[in-house]
Structure 1
Amino acid sequence: MRVLILDDDEELGSLMQPALEKYGMELSLSYAPSQAFEMLDAEEFDCLLLDMMLPELDGMAVCRAIRSSGKPYAEIPIVALTARAELTDRIVALESGFDDFVAKPMEMRELVARIGAVVRRKRDDTATEVVPAAPQQETHSGLHLSPTHMSAVYGAYAVNLTELEMRVLTALSDADGAILSRADILNHIGYNDQSDPAMIDTIIYRVRQKFREQGLATDFIKTLRGQGYCIRTEQVS
């Protein structure tokens, strides 16, 4: 597996190189966005490790540039490397197009597991023929999802969703009121047990915020402490 890292900390990359080789990964080093783009144009990589804090261009801007490039590497799995892992940072990372994130200082086995997970998920997505989904019917809770338009409607409130937000709401909606743990939801959206379950909290927080900004006063996603999440069976306003 070929992995490219973009991090201005030259010592970090040099330390990671032999460590990842033990796990069968070939790590190539880049220290500036311009250098990374040149390498992506010239070679094929399975995954990009991208530092969120770069002097030339921050990691979020680099990620957005990659995703919107229209080039063969536009869909490369990208794992954010961040010294901060607060909720806001996770939200911004996901919305910028990152597939996962790892907090510094990194535990190498965790990093390897996350790289493996995003690469496998990408390969599975590529191997599966995508059939355009028809809009779903309104559920018993009053939630209406439209994967075609990437939108959700609850009562009089409508919001646009990211792909991950749509996947999470679809998993909860399909559960028909049953409680799903964070691990259950991760499996439903294509991640595995090695992924950070806090990702689900982040996505659900963002969905709630979107509906609150539209004026919905009560959450239709119910949190059950120590158990997980479910869609309320009674409609709220």
Structure 2
Amino acid sequence: MNSQLLMIEDDHRLAQMVGEYLGQSGLQVTHMADGTSGLAQLQGSELPDLVILDLMLPDMDGLEVCRRIRALPGAAAQVPVLMLTAKGDPMDRVIGLEIGADDYLPKPFEPRELLARIRAILRRREAGAQPPANHLLRFGSLEIDRDARTITVGGEPAELTSYQFDLLVTMAERAGRVLTRDQIMEAVRGRELEAFDRSIDVHMGRIRAAIEADPKNPRRILTVRGVGYVFAKQQD
């Protein structure tokens, strides 16, 4: 694996340690010490394969940086983001996922766990880039282009993170089947759910907000209480 990572982290000692550790596994890390520099790097000619983003930065917090990444033009907005959150505050996790982070890792963390999560995100991205036989999925006004990794609703583009796109495709490919949270996460090669982890529900909420006419009364992605979710087959 020879991937390029961008680490936005004001702790230079931590960034050096992470860079050296990940470098042993063939991952090249570029370090930026503040949000402004990190965002400038993402607007260059070569995009990283993943961003490691600290929540606490000197010029702006990581949540704001993540919002700005998702607002960037073109492919830059789709770069996966792994957010580092202090002390694993549950609200930091939820907010980070809601604004577009693909995963989170509380500090302090084991370098091996960071590497494992990075690899899981990159595997999902690589798997999603493989062209399927039928690249278009159509459900009434909803169209999912698996080759281009784009979504339109009524002809208008809908924005999702790379991970949320994979979740949506996983559900749409199995339309009409009830899937547990574990089955959904396993299908996209994600990490196993921790006890009481509600991150999958946060992602589903973001997907509904992007594709449903009324996210509070969804018609596409339905909750099956006590089990999981089902992508409805109806055509609008």
- Shared fold, TM over 0.5: yes
Kept in 2, the 8 Å contact 1:90–1:202? The answer is no
Runs of at least 5 residues in structure 1 that lack an aligned partner in the other structure: 137-143, 152-159, 232-237
Write the distance in 1 (CA, Å) between the matches of 2:73 and 2:167: 24
| Worse-matched range after superposition: 194-203 or 6-15 | 194-203
CA distance in 2 between counterparts of 1:72 and 1:169 reads 19
| TM-score normalized by the length of structure 2 | 0.67
Counterpart in the other structure of 2:129: 126
What is the correspondence of 1:1-237 to structure 2 with a 5 Å cutoff? 1-40=3-42, 41=44, 43-128=46-131, 131-135=135-139, 164=164, 167=167, 171=171, 174=174, 176=176, 178=178, 180-188=179-187, 190=188, 192-194=189-191, 196=193, 198=197, 199-203=199-203, 214=216, 221-224=223-226, 228-230=227-229
Once residues 214 and 73 of structure 2 are traced to their aligned partners in structure 1, the CA distance between those partners, rounded to angstroms, is 34
Q: Which has the larger radius of gyration?
A: 1
Quote the Cα distance in structure 1 between the aligned partners of 2:74 and 2:165. Answer: 25
User: TM (normalized to structure 1)?
Assistant: 0.67
Distance (whole Å) between structure 2 residues aligned to residue 71 and residue 201 of structure 1:
27
Q: Deviations 1:109-136 (Å, cap 9, x if unpaired)?
A: 2111111121222233333368443226
Tell me, yes or no, if the aligned pair for 2:80 and 2:101 is still in contact at 8 Å.
yes
TM superposition shift of 1:166: 9.5
Partner deviation per Cα, 1:186-214 (whole Å, 9 max, x = no partner): 133x2x15355532243357789999995
Q: Can you list the C-alpha shifts for 1:125-153, whole angstroms capped at 9, x where unaligned?
A: 333368443226xxxxxxx98866659xx
Q: What residue identity is the alignment partner of 1:32? A: D
CA–CA separation in structure 2 for the residues paired with 1:194 and 1:167: 13
What residue is the counterpart of 2:234 in the other structure?
none
RMSD across aligned C-alpha pairs, in angstroms?
4.0
Q: Compute the displacement of 1:51 (Å).
A: 0.9
| Structure-2 separation of matches of 1:165 and 1:122 | 10
